[in-house]
Amino acid sequence: MRVPMDEVLELVDLVADSALEGVFVWLLRLVGMLAVLSGLGLWLLTDMGLLVLPLVLIVGGLALLVVPSFLLAVAELVG
């Protein structure tokens, strides 16, 4: 039985072997930056009583900014 993390590392290894590594990383970073900016905009510019959605957007965006480089580094070490 394959663990989902093994499948993610296999996909990241495939991307690392192809020439699309830089494009993949920058695309995820762009999505992460948009999520962070959306979360900050919701938090600062709206009158939301519930701060869960902006928090999820900010944390998810920060994860997308950091995780692609980390995953590619792990895939190079493992594979």
Average pLDDT, the chain: 79
pLDDT digits over 43-69, tens only?
A: 888 876 667 888 899 999 998 888 877
Give the DSSP letter string of the chain: ---HHHHHHHHHHHHHHSTTHHHHHHHHHHHHHHHHHHHHHHHHHS--S--HHHHHHHHHHHHHHHHHHHHHHHHHHH-
pTM confidence score? 0.67
| Residue 34: per-residue pLDDT | 94
Kindly tell me if the per-residue pLDDT of 3 is higher than 70: no
Q: At which residue do the structure tokens 């995780």 appear?
A: 67
| Residue 37: per-residue pLDDT | 94
